Structure 1
Amino acid sequence: MSSTAPKFASFRPKAKASEQPPPEEPRREEKEYTKRESSRDRKRKSSRERKRDERRSPPREERLRDESSKKPYFSDRRGDVDIVKYGTPNRYDVPSYRRTGYGNVLGLPHQKIDRENSTDKKIYMTPLVRQRQKRMLTDKHAANESRRTLRLIKVAEPPQSDATRDFIALSGARKRKRGSQTDSEEDINAAPDVDYRGIDEQHDPDKVDDPDTYYDSDTEAANTISEVTQKNSRLIRETRDDPSNLQAWLDLIDHQEAMMKLDRAISELSAADRQNLADVRISTYEEALRKIGDADASRVQLQAGLLREAQRYWNDEKVATRWQHVLKKHPHSRRLWFGYLDFAQSTFARFKYEDCRVTFSQALEALHAADSVDDSVTSQARMHLFVRLTTMMQEAGYQELALAAWQALLEYHLLAPLNLATDKMQRFEEFWESEAPRIGEPDSKGWRHLSTEDAVPPTCSIILEAPGGPVSSVEDYRKRELEHVSKLRYPGRSTDEVGEDDPFHTIFFSDLKDILVNVPNAPAQIQIDAFLCFCGLPPLAEIPKRRPWWEDPYLQRSRSETKCSTKLEPETPRFAEAFSQYSLSPLPSFYTTSDILIQQTFSLESSQLDPGFVRNILKSLATNLPDNEAIGEYLLAFESVHFPSEVAKTAKRLLKVNPTSVRLYNMYALAENQLGNTAKASQVFAAALAIKSSSAAHLQLLQDYVWQALHGDDKTEALRRLLLSDNKTQGSITSARSSLQSTLEAALLASDLPSAVPCTALLACLSYLTSSYNASAALSVHGNLTSWLASHRLHTSVHAESHAQAIAQFLAFHVSHAAVVRPSLVRDALEPYIAAFPSNTVLLSVYAANEARFAIDDRVRGHMARVLNLSPASSASSWAFAIHHEALKGAIAGSTAHSIRALYARATSGDAGAAHSPSLWAMWLRFEMAQLRAARDTPANRRPRRDGGKSKWQTRVEEHVTRVRAAFYEGLKRVPWCKDFVMLAFTDAREVFTDEELMRLYGVMAEKEHRLYVELEEPRN
């Protein structure tokens, strides 16, 4: 081979350097050997003779060691005792090895050099068959594995080739020898390359494997640490200078987590770290309480935060004692009562239904007395408490009492006889005890239109198939319990033969009196909206303020059918298909408008109520409250799903009472369009536009009329409807634009945001349709209103959210119908609004559908990670959408069962806002059951191994069974009040649990005082 190699001048061997004298410092082995020999011969030889002998004749052991180190390999059967002494082998005894390329070493065919752990001091070998190494820049967990960050560097341009050279340089970026006279400043500062052919070159520990990345300097890391510590010092100084500054104390407490994460390789804290953090924060809270002063609001906020942290560090008994002590000092604090109720309802060791119900009653009574003391305790706050109470009753199995409470509340406050000033409670007692049909029941007319003398109790037509009495079979118990739950859902009468032996089936007035006394007479819209939350239905449309119950994790129920998400089939699905899938988020969150309300499924799966019962309640309220258009509007939307043949009749009846209601006309047209009657819908729209009105409802009507044409892909007709004329000249366009612009300016001047939002949407559509479908022109119009809202500090209001949803609607249409759309158009337009409304599933669905077309970017996962990491108290809706999105991505885009399971675990961890959401726990359990059934159905070799061990298929199935059990028992600890979740072990997960385990779960339900219709006895041996 050497005969054929080219004889370049650069490959000529250099002159050998003069031989250097050996180092004077002896090696470690020689020192140790000398000490041992000198101790043996101290009495026989003098110091000079010993040294002369050592120079003359090296010991046999050293000769063997020198010879062995020169061999390619040697066998050492005795070992070196100095390894234990010095903790490392003698590097001079390690024989040289030969690399054969690609990390291989000669003589080790089944191993490779571990590039992650090897250094200039040690070489680590790793087996060839192992987990694939992660890439430094594309790995999603790379940021958590190292404290030092990576930065990209610009690759240097290759130098111009020198034609005078008689060789070809393999790399132009290699650093030259220091003695070269042609070195430039760039060469001196360049990073040295590694010669992978040798092992003697000094390794640079700061250099990474990717030549385009380098670690940030230690100075930058130190600066980051310095900023954190300096902020901590500044906050401490602020609390000392002004101890009454509440915000300074809260900032200091919040900053302790950043202090805890200093010098940590991962960003997330472990359970032990969380406890230590809670201990530190508790101490800071207590110090703040000693120094904050007597300001009641500040002390309440500090006490609430302290007890929230104490639940992670103290035992339950100590926390409960502290809660009671704090509530005695602040008996009228809404914040403290809700915190205490969260603790009482979600603590497994302490929860019992009756104790929790009494606590809710005490809270209602305390807040009722606080109405005149504390302005923050409004009727809306007490209504929120009432929704929590009745939902807890229903989920614990006391569904008759929960429904009776709502029937009594609506009858007492909304359907009471007119001009009834005195003895209202006594008169209502007479109505209730007469057992006349109540609101929601067939033939109900309402308390207002009923005479107790003519009241006739409704006949009971319920027939139970299974006989009464206890059962000893788990299967019999399951069938009979489910039958009783389904058929005995509504409050019974004393005359009913079914359930007469059940003390909880018939509800008397004495069971409801305390609730009616302490629940306020809130506005009708608030009471109805709260009832819809109890039923698990969407909120009313066009509500001027957010209601707190829609954001409460204890009340967020699934509003769609609970099924496992189906992965998007194509690698790059169409936008319309992806958007329809992402829109089915199990826990949706949005601002309800008429066009969004008509698209809802109105699922009653979570509350298991009959659609006819809810429809009767809405009809009674719409009839007796004709001025409240929102109720009639909601009734039409509800009937379009459950009773489509009744929509036209109901609309005629409502419009007969209120013939000038533009909102009712609009919803009726939308309902007809949703049912496929496009021509009929267009006629209703046109008739409604003839009604002269300058209200926001008229603008909303015109907007929905235009969008009906756009959804039908008829842009010409949409422009005609915008112009309200068949003449599409430039003059008519200018006139329409001027009219809309003047209407918008007048609305903004009067702060009439309900009119400004649809007017802006109409202006944007006009710009879009008259500018060759230029999306930027429409977004520019929307941007003007966004700037106005931001300047008036209204960028997080419900009207700003409605405006953001209008932008999302426009972008969804544009992407679906345009030939080519840049992904950055949707991305840049929506990200500011998602930052303002991170839980809005309408915005997130459009954003996710846009990114699904370019799955390689995967920006949605990164965005959701940023959103969900903002605070441990992220909403259940945000978690549910993140899980829904991960399930839809599929394996091609990096989604696996493990990544979905990890999201469930994070969403339901102790600090997460969805930790006590029964819907999310039920979703997780059903997900694990789906994985178990898929594993069982997977075709595989099910024969046991030759050694008698379990097959891989059997091992995999057992792992899934363990995951189902773990998810169930963890959920049981988090939602101890929810009987429906425990019953999943008897229904959906029946195949996982044995009869003995189910008997124990029945005992748990009895211990927690859940409502049990059927008694389950232990089987006799």
Structure 2
Amino acid sequence: MADDIEESDLFIIDRRGDPKNLEFGRPHRYSVPAYHRFGHGRLLGAARSVRLDRDQDTGQFAVLSSVTDRDLVRVSRPLYSKQPATRERKLRLVAPVTQELLQSDSDFVALHPGLKQKRRSASPQHGHICDYRSIESKARGPPSTLDSDLASGSDSDGRVDEDAVDLQTRQESAVLSKQIKHAPKDVETWLRLITHQAKVLCPHGGNPTFGQKRTIADLRLAIYDQALQCITVGEPGHERLLLGMLDEGAVVWEASKLAKKWTEVLTRCPTSFSLWTKYLDFIQADHVNFSYETCKGAYLRCLQILRNARDFGQKSTEVGLVQVRVIMRFAAFTRDAGYDELANSIWQTLLEMTFFKPADLADNSAVLKSLEEFWDADVPRIGEECAPGWARYAEGNIASPLRKTISQEASSVVAGQSIQRFVDQEVKFERGMHLPAALDNDDEFSEDPYRQVMFTDVGPFIEPLLDGLPTEAVVNAFLIFMGLPQIPYGGSNCLAREWQLDPYLAALDQINQKALCAGVIELTTLSLFDDAFDAFKQRSSSQSIDRNELASFVDRILGALIDVQPSDDCLAEYYLAYKLAVSPVEARKLAKRLLKGRPSSLRLYNAYALVEASLDRMPKAREVWEIAINRSGQLSDSSEDHAVLLWHSWVFSLIRAKDEREALHTLLAMLDNHLDSEVKGDASASAVQRLKASRFFEEMWERSLYTEKVHHAFLYAECHIWFVYLTNQGMIAPAMDIFEKYAIRAEQSRQRLGVELIYQAQARLLRAHLQHHRAYKPAALRLALTKGLQIFPNNGLLIDTYAKIGSCSRIEDRLRSSLWHGEVGSESSLVAWSHFLSEEVRRCNEEASGSTANSVRSSFTRALLSPDSRVKHSVALWTLWLQFESSWLLSASSAQVKKNAALAKARQVFLDGLRMLPWSKSWIIEGLRLFSREGGMSEGELRQVYHVLAERELRVRVNVGEVEFGLSKSA
């Protein structure tokens, strides 16, 4: 009979039936479509005359009855009935109250009341209610509405997509394996295959778990072994494979095995400075075998390897830059271990050797001997008062006074006193500025020998650097070491920005909120005089020491460098910006003095005008800019090109002062290079002026790019963007259109620096637009910044502007997910993690939705406890985590149980940090201070933590005597 029935797409014939009916004796509950009641027992989808009959409901089946049948039952009246009334209580179904009319275009129809009914609970559900002990009560997802012999199309589509992804992954693996067979010496193919293993194990993306990371590392190590058999020592790419193998081995190998592998690798490639620099990370972070002297010896061997590389004819400039980074890392390491005098002595010696070396020295041995004589003479050195310089001392024509003791004297703690006193004094000394003590004071040497630095202490580290280092890189390295921004417009700026991403370089006393969120940006003259030194000022103001000690040391060094390099306008501009930040009153005097020595420098004129504008002296600043612009036409062509710097700074000083009318007037004057004495008319421009401005700015943009003056091209582009913005009454859309044109042109010219500067100009425009509270579309602004963040994910200005847009539009949850979801992982940099974690902590403190204490801890765990994280050895992030956990101690002060739980979490964070930061003395002192005051550690545990200082050979300034036996008073 079934053969006679014609198949149709309108219905499906079930030839088998449901076997579950025989098994359970009734229809399978998961195959029965769900029904919904409405309107006094009616059934949705059934005829209006059909209702659910409660009298015949058995709990297993729902009986439907027609209205006529129910009416027959209701004919009899209970009061006139001869039969006694039943005592059975009957309930009726109350129709749900609809609050709103049904919308024809709504996505769903709400079948339950939205408001709570008064004086009664919601209407009971009269369907089949399973007992909580029954297996039928287990959640199995929504019941299927399909027959037993049908499959869901959506499930099938999902499986098809997964199969397609798996197939594509296997095909890529096969292609890479085939390429390796044909070209086994191609290191790039090997690396692509190694990277592809993460996709093999997790083809659908997402953050892998800890177990998956170990599995991926095992797979990659096996491929590394095969690659190293094909690409042997001396062949191109061998060192890259070794570095990758060691990185993956750090995930799965034990510390002893990893140390053994490092020994084997360095024995195989003893002259590889890339391996040696990477070895420094390992030896400094090896908490099992760490000691100060061992790590110090590793730095010395690395410097000697780099010197040998220069002797054998390798690229001198490239090796010199690596030497600068290694010596900077060593100085930061000695500072973090507590040996501040040695760290500052290294910089004094290096700067004297780079900028003040006598010219008549024949060879390196003579240089080293003369430098030793200068050091042992104990005359003032660079950064100290009345410092003559090495060259002038070698001439013998001056009588220099002896040095003054700058290193603070150590104190002692009486035996049996609390550990808190020891910690407080150590913190006090840590925040001081420590230069080497005078050599003629034997009493100080006997009390604390590390306060005096002999030439035998610094000489071995300076000797490998006698061949000379790039001067610009040396200055930038010193500034970064001191927590200052680098000098703009330099050739080594890209390398300096890479140094700022090094998690080993930030000291504990350099950490504050501005420093964490400042990020890495491309500095310009305008940003230098705006907020570049805010983090340094906040760091100085937050410390209890006299800020003049640190500021004066840097000030004297910058002044000495200006004296020896009077023609360096960029350095002079930087010095003026620094002086304005730390001593605004003296900045004007310094600017006038520098201009007397360089009266033809337009950059110095501009810096002087910016100083006046920053001091709210706009009339004087305008006068300086007018004089400089009038002189620009009388100078050479190279100096005349700097005129755009004058116009740009003038315009943006007016914009910062919220004088947009005069700013537009200045931009119009820029087109004719003609200045009017007063501003006339409104802030508008005619069509002719707009066309003229467009042609002028675009022509000057092209000219500057052609002459490879990228910074000048950027200034013209930003002036054009602001001209369009001001002439359109503050409408953001036309200005964004102009920005898109310049961004595309910059990308086509392959000027990465120009592209970043353009995106920073866009960010400044958006920030100003938000400050004026003008209309905008948040989605459009976020979309405009997204591309810049994809190209420059570490640019702090772009990230901060993106976050500001989100906070102004109250979409923080969407911002959090769109900006960071899937973007912050083990490969993320220090800047990305700093912004993300700071935002998470802020949201948690403000009790924002979507962020809790546990979510913050989870984020910190991903950043700092993941074995393949790039920032797990960052003192800055670990300190941020400990501060977050410590903040809960104050909020839990009323409840002892909560306080104990908060102490336990803070204790675990401290112990994890003790393992990840073995070289940091400040971390140990911070932990001792916290737990000696708040509790959380017993006497024995505090004693063990204190002894870690001696075990790791870290510096202790306070003469403790027998204080370790008085720890019980702190418990």
Question: What TM-score range do you get, normalising by the shorter chain?
Answer: 0.7 to 0.9
* Structure 1 residue 1010 corresponds to structure 2 residue 960: no
Closer, same or farther: CA 739–493 of 1 in aligned 2, 3 Å: same
Equivalent position of 1:503 in the other structure: 449
Secondary structure, aligned partner of 2:851: coil
In the alignment, structure 1 segments of 5+ residues that lack a partner are 1-19, 30-69, 74-97, 127-135, 137-191, 208-212, 564-582, 938-952
* Structure 1 residue 477 corresponds to structure 2 residue 422: yes
> Is the 8 Å Cα contact of residues 587 and 876 (structure 1) preserved in structure 2?
no
> Is the 8 Å Cα contact of residues 383 and 554 (structure 2) preserved in structure 1?
yes
Q: Does 1 or 2 have the higher relative contact order (CA < 8 Å, sep 6+)?
A: 2
Secondary structure, aligned partner of 1:746: helix
Superposition deviation, residue 467 in structure 1: 4.4
Superposition deviation, residue 221 in structure 1: 1.9
Secondary structure, aligned partner of 1:690: helix
2:375 to 419, 428, 432: 432
> Is the 8 Å Cα contact of residues 721 and 735 (structure 2) preserved in structure 1?
yes
* Structure 1 residue 749 corresponds to structure 2 residue 749: no
> Is the 8 Å Cα contact of residues 528 and 577 (structure 2) preserved in structure 1?
yes
Secondary structure, aligned partner of 2:536: coil
Superposition deviation, residue 438 in structure 1: 0.8
Q: Deviations over 1:775-799 (max 9, x none)?
A: 33333333233223322333xx333
Q: How does 1:527-926 map to 2 (within 5 A)?
A: 527-544=474-491, 545-547=493-495, 548-556=498-506, 562=512, 585-586=516-517, 588-598=519-529, 599-600=531-532, 601-603=534-536, 605=539, 610-692=550-632, 694=638, 697-724=642-669, 725-726=675-676, 734-794=691-751, 797-817=752-772, 819-856=774-811, 858-866=813-821, 868-869=823-824, 872-889=826-843, 890-908=846-864, 909-926=866-883
Normalising by structure 1, report the TM-score: 0.74
* Structure 1 residue 381 corresponds to structure 2 residue 312: no
Closer, same or farther: CA 214–558 of 1 in aligned 2, 3 Å: farther
User: Larger helix proportion, structure 1 or 2?
Assistant: 2
Superposition deviation, residue 477 in structure 1: 1.9
Superposition deviation, residue 977 in structure 1: 0.4
Q: Deviations over 1:248-296 (max 9, x none)?
A: 1111111111222258xx9333323322221111111000111235663
Q: How does 1:168-567 map to 2 (within 5 A)?
A: 216-262=157-203, 267-292=206-231, 296-371=235-310, 372-375=312-315, 377-421=318-362, 423-450=366-393, 454-460=399-405, 464=409, 466-467=411-412, 473-486=418-431, 489-496=434-441, 497-519=443-465, 520-544=467-491, 545-547=493-495, 548-556=498-506, 562=512
CA distance in 2, matches of 1:855, 1:753: 37
CA distance in 2, matches of 1:461, 1:252: 57
Report the more deviating stretch, 782-791 or 977-986. 782-791
Equivalent position of 2:30 in the other structure: none
Amino acid at match of 1:975: L
Closer, same or farther: CA 293–28 of 1 in aligned 2, 3 Å: same
Closer, same or farther: CA 378–785 of 1 in aligned 2, 3 Å: farther
Closer, same or farther: CA 479–814 of 1 in aligned 2, 3 Å: closer
Normalising by structure 2, report the TM-score: 0.78
> Is the 8 Å Cα contact of residues 827 and 870 (structure 2) preserved in structure 1?
yes
Superposition deviation, residue 112 in structure 1: 8.8
Amino acid at match of 2:557: I
Superposition deviation, residue 426 in structure 1: 1.7
> Is the 8 Å Cα contact of residues 345 and 453 (structure 2) preserved in structure 1?
yes
Superposition deviation, residue 856 in structure 1: 3.5
Equivalent position of 1:927 in the other structure: 884
Secondary structure, aligned partner of 1:627: coil
Superposition deviation, residue 730 in structure 1: 5.4
CA distance in 1, matches of 2:229, 2:771: 60
In the alignment, structure 2 segments of 5+ residues that lack a partner are 1-15, 26-56, 61-91, 95-110, 114-120, 670-674
Superposition deviation, residue 202 in structure 1: 6.8
* Structure 1 residue 123 corresponds to structure 2 residue 137: yes
Q: Deviations over 1:700-738 (max 9, x none)?
A: 332121111112222220111112244766555554444
Superposition deviation, residue 302 in structure 1: 0.4
Superposition deviation, residue 194 in structure 1: 7.0
Secondary structure, aligned partner of 1:610: helix
Closer, same or farther: CA 204–262 of 1 in aligned 2, 3 Å: farther
Percentage identity across paired residues of the two chains:
26
CA distance in 1, matches of 2:551, 2:847: 39
CA distance in 2, matches of 1:934, 1:358: 46
Report the more deviating stretch, 1003-1012 or 488-497. 488-497
CA distance in 2, matches of 1:830, 1:321: 47
> Is the 8 Å Cα contact of residues 332 and 507 (structure 2) preserved in structure 1?
no
Closer, same or farther: CA 469–620 of 1 in aligned 2, 3 Å: farther
Amino acid at match of 1:970: D
> Is the 8 Å Cα contact of residues 559 and 588 (structure 1) preserved in structure 2?
no
Amino acid at match of 2:764: Q
Superposition deviation, residue 461 in structure 1: 7.2
Q: Deviations over 1:443-463 (max 9, x none)?
A: 223223336672321233777
Closer, same or farther: CA 1015–283 of 1 in aligned 2, 3 Å: farther
Amino acid at match of 1:591: E
Equivalent position of 2:43 in the other structure: none
Superposition deviation, residue 488 in structure 1: 7.2
CA distance in 1, matches of 2:734, 2:913: 50
CA distance in 2, matches of 1:559, 1:682: 40
CA distance in 1, matches of 2:19, 2:149: 24
> Is the 8 Å Cα contact of residues 334 and 367 (structure 1) preserved in structure 2?
yes
> Is the 8 Å Cα contact of residues 384 and 553 (structure 2) preserved in structure 1?
yes
Superposition deviation, residue 518 in structure 1: 1.4
> Is the 8 Å Cα contact of residues 826 and 863 (structure 2) preserved in structure 1?
no
Equivalent position of 1:130 in the other structure: none
Secondary structure, aligned partner of 1:985: helix
> Is the 8 Å Cα contact of residues 273 and 306 (structure 2) preserved in structure 1?
yes
Report the more deviating stretch, 828-837 or 884-893. 884-893
CA distance in 1, matches of 2:608, 2:374: 36
Q: Deviations over 1:648-704 (max 9, x none)?
A: 111122222222222223233323333333333333333332331655643233212
Question: Aligned pair count?
Answer: 824
CA distance in 2, matches of 1:922, 1:958: 20
Secondary structure, aligned partner of 1:546: helix
Amino acid at match of 2:721: A
Superposition deviation, residue 630 in structure 1: 2.4
> Is the 8 Å Cα contact of residues 883 and 903 (structure 1) preserved in structure 2?
yes
CA distance in 2, matches of 1:503, 1:989: 30
Superposition deviation, residue 499 in structure 1: 4.8
Report the more deviating stretch, 392-401 or 268-277. 268-277
Superposition deviation, residue 970 in structure 1: 0.8
Closer, same or farther: CA 892–772 of 1 in aligned 2, 3 Å: same
**What's the Cα RMSD here?**
3.8
Q: Deviations over 1:378-434 (max 9, x none)?
A: 211110111111100100111100100000000111122345445222222111111
Amino acid at match of 2:524: T
Secondary structure, aligned partner of 2:868: coil
Amino acid at match of 1:880: S
Superposition deviation, residue 503 in structure 1: 1.9
Amino acid at match of 2:512: T
CA distance in 2, matches of 1:555, 1:774: 43
Closer, same or farther: CA 665–988 of 1 in aligned 2, 3 Å: farther
Equivalent position of 1:143 in the other structure: none
Q: Deviations over 1:988-1011 (max 9, x none)?
A: 454244443222111111111101
Report the more deviating stretch, 911-920 or 217-226. 217-226
Secondary structure, aligned partner of 1:1009: coil
> Is the 8 Å Cα contact of residues 929 and 989 (structure 1) preserved in structure 2?
no
